[in-house]
Amino acid sequence: MKDDAFDDSQCPFNYKAELKRARRALNAKVGKYISENPTESYRDLAKEFHLSLGTFSTIAGRYEGKRKPGPRPRRPPTAGGDTLPRTKIDPDVKPPSNMVSVGLPFVPALYGLKPRRNYLPWSHAEKRLARSRNYWICTSRPDGRPHSMPVWGFWTDGALYFGTGRSSRKGKNLAHNNAVSIHLESGDDAVILEGNAVEVADKTMLSKLGPAYRVKYKTPLLIDPESVVYRVRPQVAWAWTEKNYLNDATRWKFKIK
């Protein structure tokens, strides 16, 4: 079997020297990158170089002392393993207290999304939810077939309110399964919510909703035994603009009490 052993002399170039040169180049590139990104975690940086966390940590350890001075913000405690971004989400508007995480949508790598420091503020979605005239309500029939229908509604106090007839297709679907997906009219400036539709039965709350509905649609909110008003607080939400999808696609996760 000795004859089958690799013979260095048969190699057209010095592979050992080339390997050392490639390693030095990678080390230098990693060192430069971590010095320019002092607040990034090794896990995120390792993904940039398509390296395992262990391999990246070994290389980066040689350059740790050369990092440019910079604060390392502590990540706030979160649920479900997700975290809020290390930088401010919105300098002007404080995020909702029930926001658990904000980051990239969960999509295949071929979509081209990469971790960023900044994401869209939640106010971006709320402004569009408040000014939208029509809301597409997506529900499931008892046999699992989907159903979508636009409705009127309004966004207030962190929730979307809309009404429908109890005997309507979506009314029957929600009575069987209250999980719902909601999106606005535009696909170029998208906002999408997922949550559970909860019937609003409190008369005091309904009396408050009526005037807001009349102001927006110039017609009274229909409230009778054959109709129902639902409230949906988002559990997950997405937003992006078609023109800048790679730089602003954002996913929010909320904790519902």
pLDDT digit string, tens, across residues 16-49: 566 666 667 767 776 666 666 655 566 666 666 6
Q: Which residues of 215-225 are buried (b: 16+ CB within 10 A; e: fewer)?
A: eeeeeebebee
Q: Are 101 and 84 in contact (CB under 8 A)?
A: yes
Homologous superfamily (CATH) for 122-254: Electron Transport, Fmn-binding Protein; Chain A (2.30.110.10)
Predicted pLDDT at 136: 98
Given pLDDT bands bounded at 50, 70 and 90, which one contains residue 61?
low
pLDDT tens digit string along 64-119?
554 444 444 444 433 333 444 433 444 446 778 889 999 999 999 998 999 988 99
Return the percentage of the chain with pLDDT > 90, whole number: 47
Higher pLDDT, 220 or 16: 220
Q: Are 223 and 183 in contact (CB under 8 A)?
A: no
Please calculate the CA angle 253-241-100 and round it to the nearest 5 degrees. 10
- pLDDT, average across residues 1-21: 56
Predicted pLDDT at 207: 85
Q: What is the DSSP string of the chain?
A: -GGGS--GGGSSS-HHHHHHHHHHHHHHHHHHHHHH-TTS-HHHHHHHTT--HHHHHHHHTTTGGGSPP---PPPPP-STT----SS-S-SSSPPPTTEEEEE-----GGG-----S----HHHHHHHHHH-S-EEEEEE-TTS-EEEEEE-EEEETTEEEEEEETTSHHHHHHHH--EEEEE-S-SSEEEEEEEEEEE---HHHHHHHHHHHHHHHSSPPP-STTEEEEEEEEEEEEEEEGGGHHHH-EEEEE---
pLDDT tens digit string along 118-133?
999 999 999 999 999 9
Q: Where are the domains of the chain?
A: 2-66, 122-254
Given pLDDT bands bounded at 50, 70 and 90, which one contains residue 50?
low
Predicted pLDDT at 223: 79
Q: Does residue 158 register a pLDDT over 60?
A: yes
Q: Are 76 and 84 in contact (CB under 8 A)?
A: yes
pTM score above 0.85: no
The whole-chain average pLDDT of the chain stands at 80
Number of Cβ within 10 Å of residue 98's Cβ equals: 14
Burial class (CB in 10 A: 0-12, 13-18, 19+), 8: exposed
Structure tokens at 14: 């010095």
Q: Does residue 230 register a pLDDT over 90?
A: yes
- pLDDT, average across residues 136-153: 96
Predicted pLDDT at 74: 47
Structure tokens at 246: 């790679």
Q: Does residue 247 register a pLDDT over 50?
A: yes
